[in-house]
Amino acid sequence: MRLRCGWVLLLPLLALSGCRSGGPEITRVVLVTLDTTRADRLGPYGYDRGTTPNLDRFAAQSVVFEQAVSQVPTTAPSHSTMFTGLYPQDHGVRYNLVYKLDDGAETLAEILQRRGFSTAGFPAAGVVGREYGLAQGFAHWDQLDLKDEGVRELGALIGGTRRAGAGVDAVIDWLAGQGGQKVFLWLHLYDPHTPYSPPFPYSSRYPNNPYDGEIAYTDAQFGRLLEALQADPAWDRTLLVVAGDHGEGLHHHNESWHSYLVYESTQRVPLLVRAPGVEARRVAQPVELADLTPTLLDLVGAEPLENIRGVSLRQALRGQTLPDRFLYFETHAGKLNFGWQELSGVRFRNWKLIESSEPELFDLATDPREKNNLAEADPDRVGRFRAELLAVAEPIREGTASKTDQQLTPEERRRFAALGYVAGGGGGSALEGARNPSEMIDAEGEITVAGSEIQRGNWPRVLELCEYILGRDPANKWALTNASLSAMNLGRPQDALEPSKRLVELYPQNPNSYSTHGRALSEAGRADEAYELLLLARETIEDSEAVGYFFLVAGFDAGKPVCDGAVDEVLEEFPSSARTYVMKSRCDLRGGELDAAFDHLIKAVQLGYKEVELLKHFDEFDDVVNDERFQMLIDLQDPDNTNVRAFPGTPTGS
Ligand SMILES: [Zn+2]
């Protein structure tokens, strides 16, 4: 007779041996994350178009969590939560690309690795790449190198990310080499993310609904993985979990994609758990992605983590009710990109509060599409939930606040005020006038169009779109930035001064404000002012490559001694800044050192500098342009040119 896990609480000595799923020892842990996959677009969650036969089959042998809440509707923060059991305010990853999961974080993979599991991660997109801290604990890390010709094979890639088929191939290959080793692997399937472009035959099967087509394709690839796992003798000891990182708006509450709003379209995600010895069932009680790590650790018999947010779902897997609790969610994407309000909220049973300048309270049991805001009708509940939200919003870990979340100190404010900025001395934040993302989300279309016009360099059109956005949202960070850049690119730096100065006043903690305004001042012939502002920015706020670079440009133009050390300091901080190497060569030329100037221009080109031809327009490069080596510098920009190899004295790649 096997002891049931519930009894172990009464028998502390037995607990030492570890209480697993109630079945055999788990030797394989497989976590599949489905990016951008709405729960209600999958068969196990009631979608009836037959798009997910493999997930349907898998659900029939799994525990299906009907109400799983994603903590954040963006990829890196959500995966950081899944891998740590922490909320974004604890692990510090609140948006993609600008934050990194701290090396000190304790991740699921690290713990399983310490317990003797062979670990492997198969991310499909750079947004969850090694540089964002998510590779911690994975001994094998299969991240695409986009520069590698081999990965550019037809069909393996879509928009710089890996197709599900290629990811499943890589996993099956890796598993074949593991023998009887205990394994933990994470496979990330990205296909349902935009652009919706399913491969044939899914493209023709779903011509009017390519999102469904991507899901159907992903399901087919998941089916291949499922078959391979089931065919292995280790299947009896395999824990297989499928989870969505966040959903997709699909025009729910006017949101096309995800990131900016926190309605059920993006916050309700699929979560299916198949564990040996655990019967299939459906669980209606709400759970959250932060529960994933504590649950997996519990099922493999690992010690529970202390001081985390999620809980083990073991009881729920066995059909028992979990204690009721408040679940948390947030997004800072609108705040970081546009200066909109940040959104956060809590879920308790069937109730959901979204906090903003216009709080929203929904009863999801009767109103799953969140059409009927009950906040005014039920102020008591709003008050109670708000108190819970305030308590949970406090980080439980120290040192997770990033510089971008911090305000200037009074002393720093005084110094900026002395230069004529951030007057007023109050909070200095744009947030009092910040727009609610819900009222601005319909501008997503204009912003997206402007994004592609920026790629094309169509600056008159970008400026027009920015002016339209600013008409509705005068503090919009993105529009102020791009209005300034458009004016500069149109050769009208005077017009860039006002929007970029607004940036400094509204977003004084953001390096981009200073690089934009500093550049505008320099181009408008006010290099002295630019130099003073950027010098202060370098001393007070988080540094950035752009702040460093435009600081050098301003100093150079203003006749400051930036060539005596400052340029080397910036290069030390940002060694892959191609344009800073061009500044270095300007310094060389100023000192009459033509050979050194060439060496640094070569370095710039090797780092991706593409504007060598433009140097012809600057008098200071006359000696460079008239030198026989100049043509070779141009050739070096073209990777197909065979002259590159013959280039004399080319330093080898770093
Ligand atoms: Zn995602």
Please give the Cα distance from 654 to 600 (Å, whole number).
13
Calculate how far, in angstroms, residue 188's C-alpha sits from the geometric centre of ligand 1: 9
The 3-state DSSP class for residue 358 equals coil
Above 90 in pLDDT, residue 304? Answer: yes
Looking at the DSSP bridge assignments, the partners of residue 305 are none
Q: Which amino acid is at 445?
A: G
The 8 Å CB, 24+ separation contacts for 478-483 are 478/337, 478/338, 478/339, 478/447, 479/338, 480/506, 481/512, 481/516, 482/450, 482/454
Q: What is the mean pLDDT of residues 129-149?
A: 85
Most confident stretch, 246-260, 392-406, 420-434? 246-260
Calculate how far, in angstroms, residue 261's C-alpha sits from the geometric centre of ligand 1: 14
Tell me the pLDDT tens digit for each residue of 403-445: 455 567 788 888 888 887 865 444 444 456 799 999 999 998 8
Calculate how far, in angstroms, residue 81's C-alpha sits from the geometric centre of ligand 1: 12
Beta strands in 178-284 (DSSP E): 183-189, 238-244, 268-274, 281-283
Calculate how far, in angstroms, residue 82's C-alpha sits from the geometric centre of ligand 1: 12
Calculate how far, in angstroms, residue 50's C-alpha sits from the geometric centre of ligand 1: 24
- What is the pLDDT, as a whole number, of residue 652? 30
Distances (CA, A) of 72 to 35, 291, 440: 12, 14, 19
What percentage of the chain has pLDDT greater than the value 70?
89
**Reported confidence tier of residue 308, pLDDT bands at 50, 70, 90:** very high
Are the beta carbons of 97 and 76 closer than 8 angstroms?
yes
Task: List the structure tokens of 606.
Answer: 């090797």
Calculate how far, in angstroms, residue 72's C-alpha sits from the geometric centre of ligand 1: 9
Tell me the pLDDT tens digit for each residue of 332-357: 999 999 999 999 999 999 999 999 99
Calculate how far, in angstroms, residue 289's C-alpha sits from the geometric centre of ligand 1: 13
Are the beta carbons of 200 and 237 closer than 8 angstroms?
no
Calculate how far, in angstroms, residue 262's C-alpha sits from the geometric centre of ligand 1: 14
Q: Which amino acid is at 198?
A: P
Looking at the DSSP bridge assignments, the partners of residue 242 are 32, 272
Please give the Cα distance from 91 to 81 (Å, whole number).
8
| Whole-structure pTM value | 0.87
Please give the Cα distance from 389 to 353 (Å, whole number).
9
Calculate how far, in angstroms, residue 342's C-alpha sits from the geometric centre of ligand 1: 19
Q: Annotate 107-172 with three-state secondary structure.
A: CHHHHHHHCCCEEEEECCCHHHCHHHCCCCCCCEECCCCCCCHHHHCCCCEECCEECHHHHHHHHH
**Reported confidence tier of residue 146, pLDDT bands at 50, 70, 90:** low
Pairing of strands 161-162, 183-189: unpaired
Calculate how far, in angstroms, residue 35's C-alpha sits from the geometric centre of ligand 1: 4
Q: H-helix or E-strand containing 344? A: strand 343-348
For residues 138, 142, 143, 144, the Cα torsion angle rounded to the nearest 10 degrees is 180
Nearest residue to 310 via CA among 68, 478, 479: 68
Calculate how far, in angstroms, residue 211's C-alpha sits from the geometric centre of ligand 1: 14
Calculate how far, in angstroms, residue 384's C-alpha sits from the geometric centre of ligand 1: 31
The 3-state DSSP class for residue 213 equals helix
Q: Which is more confidently placed, 144 or 221?
A: 221
Calculate how far, in angstroms, residue 75's C-alpha sits from the geometric centre of ligand 1: 3
Are the beta carbons of 443 and 423 closer than 8 angstroms?
no
What DSSP string runs through 392-449?
A: HHS-SSSS---GGGPPPPHHHHHHHHHTT-STT-S---GGGGPPPHHHHGGGHHHHHH
Please give the Cα distance from 622 to 93 (Å, whole number).
48
- What is the pLDDT, as a whole number, of residue 155? 52
Calculate how far, in angstroms, residue 162's C-alpha sits from the geometric centre of ligand 1: 13
Calculate how far, in angstroms, residue 302's C-alpha sits from the geometric centre of ligand 1: 28
Number of H helices, E strands in the chain: 29, 15
Please give the Cα distance from 283 to 62 (Å, whole number).
11
Q: What is the mean pLDDT of residues 184-202?
A: 95
What percentage of the chain has pLDDT greater than the value 90?
77
Calculate how far, in angstroms, residue 34's C-alpha sits from the geometric centre of ligand 1: 8
Question: How crowded is residue 202: how many other Cβ atoms within 10 Å of its Cβ?
Answer: 22
- What is the pLDDT, as a whole number, of residue 29? 98
Calculate how far, in angstroms, residue 450's C-alpha sits from the geometric centre of ligand 1: 23
CA atoms within 13 A on the CB side of 427: 6
Above 60 in pLDDT, residue 651? Answer: no
Pairing of strands 157-158, 161-162: antiparallel
Enumerate residues with CB within 5 Å of ligand 1 (an ion): 35, 75, 245
Calculate how far, in angstroms, residue 405's C-alpha sits from the geometric centre of ligand 1: 23
Calculate how far, in angstroms, residue 543's C-alpha sits from the geometric centre of ligand 1: 28
**Reported confidence tier of residue 16, pLDDT bands at 50, 70, 90:** very low
Calculate how far, in angstroms, residue 166's C-alpha sits from the geometric centre of ligand 1: 18
Q: What is the mean pLDDT of residues 264-281?
A: 97
Question: How crowded is residue 461: how many other Cβ atoms within 10 Å of its Cβ?
Answer: 16
Calculate how far, in angstroms, residue 31's C-alpha sits from the geometric centre of ligand 1: 15
Please give the Cα distance from 184 to 121 (Å, whole number).
9
What is the torsional sign of CA 567, 568, 570, 575? positive
Calculate how far, in angstroms, residue 490's C-alpha sits from the geometric centre of ligand 1: 36
Calculate how far, in angstroms, residue 190's C-alpha sits from the geometric centre of ligand 1: 7
Calculate how far, in angstroms, residue 245's C-alpha sits from the geometric centre of ligand 1: 5
Nearest residue to 428 via CA among 405, 408, 412: 408
The 3-state DSSP class for residue 15 equals helix
Calculate how far, in angstroms, residue 291's C-alpha sits from the geometric centre of ligand 1: 18
Calculate how far, in angstroms, residue 228's C-alpha sits from the geometric centre of ligand 1: 26
Calculate how far, in angstroms, residue 128's C-alpha sits from the geometric centre of ligand 1: 9
Above 70 in pLDDT, residue 401? Answer: no
Are the beta carbons of 34 and 189 closer than 8 angstroms?
yes
